[in-house]
Chain A
Amino acid sequence: MPVTSTSNLKLRAELRLKEFLLTMQEFFLFAVRAFSTIPKFRRYLRDVLDQAVICGIESIPIVLVSSISIGGLMAMEVGNLLEDFGAKTMLGRSTSNAVLRELGPLLMGLMLAARYGSRNGAELGAMQISEQIDALRAFGTDPIAKLVMPRLVAALVMFIPLVALSDFAGLQTAAYVAEHYHKIDPGMFWNSIYPKLAPKDFVVSFLKAPVFAIIITLVSSFNGFSARGGTAGVGRSTIKGIVVSSGLVLVANFYVSKLVLDFMH
């Protein structure tokens, strides 16, 4: 390879790395500012409540659809597998582990990254390119306190009941499929769950809610605030917000499970 090409590649790699590190630094400062404005939440209570409706109440249908699908699917597939080993009575326990600890919160996180994250990215991106965020600053209002903090607080509060709802709907569907598809007595299904439930199952599940809330809200809002270049720029920033937050939700899901299960073993 010619020397100039190698040095060009190296230069480009250095530039990309520098750009990445600068973005990380900006994101870190953005996150710090978002958290530091939480004490102002009373002033923006109306905005917090509006966002709570958007990310909480209005997200119920999509959370239900995903949790019902995964609960039913898990019960059907795991039941078939357990049948081969003559262990169908273990279906409740197997399904509850998967739904409570992993799939319930994870699917909810991914659905909310798509629904709430895309809304944040597009809305804030449009505000950025139409100078509405500059207008807020010009009128002496902190745009992070006005626009990001309410989203963050609302998500932190509302994601927890959404996880509970997701877990509940997933397990109920699994019980329904166990009874009607695998012909397992409901009492047997639930009895294989309750005695084995441990605090760590709930800690794993409910700890993921605030972690996902922080990831989805901050990543999508940061990308919205960074939108440049007209409507195409809004599209780019929205996509970037969804892709990055979905990826981080997947990674965080693994690490939260691992840390909690290791710690509470």
Chain B
Amino acid sequence: MIELRNVTLKYGEKVILDKVSLTVRNNTIKAVLGPSGVGKSTIIKLMLGLIKPNSGQVFVDGIDITPLKETELYPIRRKMGIVFQGNALFDSMTISQNMSFFLRENLQLPDEEIEHRVMEQIRFAGLEGYENQLPESLSGGMKKRVAIGRALIFNPGMILFDEPTAGLDPVSSKKILNLIADLRQNSNLGAVFVTHIIDDVFAIADETAVLYQGKIIFDGPTGKLHESDHPFIRSILSDKILEL
């Protein structure tokens, strides 16, 4: 479980997050919905301890990670997989090397086991035949699937998606959403995904938090979004894609 408790984050004088509280339970897909530049990706980075808040606390499985040093954070981060918005694939490594990176770095597994797991993820992502190619030779949707495979390969309890369908064509977007939905069906994985596309939220999220002007203005089951009378939520439900 991940919990943000009264988290405030500022860049200079600009308040990005203002006393944000948010809970992500295991076995739940939680969407963080909001317009571009509102601090959604920042929430994911806070959950991983990649950045620290100015005030407030971030708990991962009951441990307050805000005072931890970088080296103390590594075991915490190994509980979570992340898919970055730009994928962040290691461009000097092949697809299979990207996918096996975590296993080779952190686990003492025999090569056969690593190869088995990599092939499993490559099949899951529908990337057979591409395992020895460099990321630069793949399309945007394929890169995203590699990034998802890389995040899943060590069986994390929670996976964090930063705008998983941003910049993808409708067909690739659908494939990615189906991939995430399959995860929910086939494993007990919890997930957080931040997005500005409301259709994606309704497609796969069990719960949704709406971030607007640095504050959470809605947090609850996705189905109840329609019941909110907040003007911003009313407007996004009618416009569907947030371009604010």
Contacts and interface: CB of A to CB of B under 8 A. Distances in A.
A137 B80 CA distance: 12
30 contacts: A130-B86, A130-B88, A130-B91, A131-B86, A132-B88, A134-B50, A134-B84, A135-B90, A137-B48, A137-B50, A137-B70, A138-B48, A138-B50, A138-B77, A138-B80, A139-B77, A139-B78, A139-B101, A139-B105, A139-B106, A140-B74, A140-B77, A140-B78, A140-B106, A141-B74, A141-B105, A141-B106, A142-B70, A142-B71, A142-B74
Nearest to A131: B88
Nearest to B75: A140
B82 interface: yes
A135 B86 CA distance: 11
B124 interface: no
Chain A interface: which size bin?
A: 10 to 19
Contacts of B74: 140-142
A142 B106 CA distance: 11
Interface of B: 45, 48, 50, 70-71, 74-75, 77-78, 80, 82, 84-86, 88-91, 101-102, 105-106
Interface string A189-213: 0000000000000000000000000
A137 B65 CA distance: 15
Interface string A104-133: 000000000000000000000000001110
A33 to B, nearest CB: 9
Interface of A is mostly: loop
Interface in A138-156: 138-142
Contacts of B88: 130-132, 134-135
Contacts of B50: 134, 137-138
B124 to A, nearest CB: 19
Contact of A135 (B70, B80, B82, B106): B82
A141 B50 CA distance: 12
A137 B77 contact: yes
Task: Give the residue among A135, A137, A142 with the most B Cβ atoms within 10 A.
Answer: A135
A132 B102 CA distance: 13
Contacts of B78: 139-140
A220 to B, nearest CB: 17
A32 to B, nearest CB: 13
Contacts of A137: 48, 50, 70, 77
6 closest residue pairs by CB, A with B: A135-B88, A140-B74, A131-B88, A140-B78, A138-B82, A131-B84
A7 to B, nearest CB: 20
A134 B86 CA distance: 12
A131 B89 CA distance: 9
B200 to A, nearest CB: 21
A130 B75 CA distance: 24
Contacts of A131: 84-86, 88
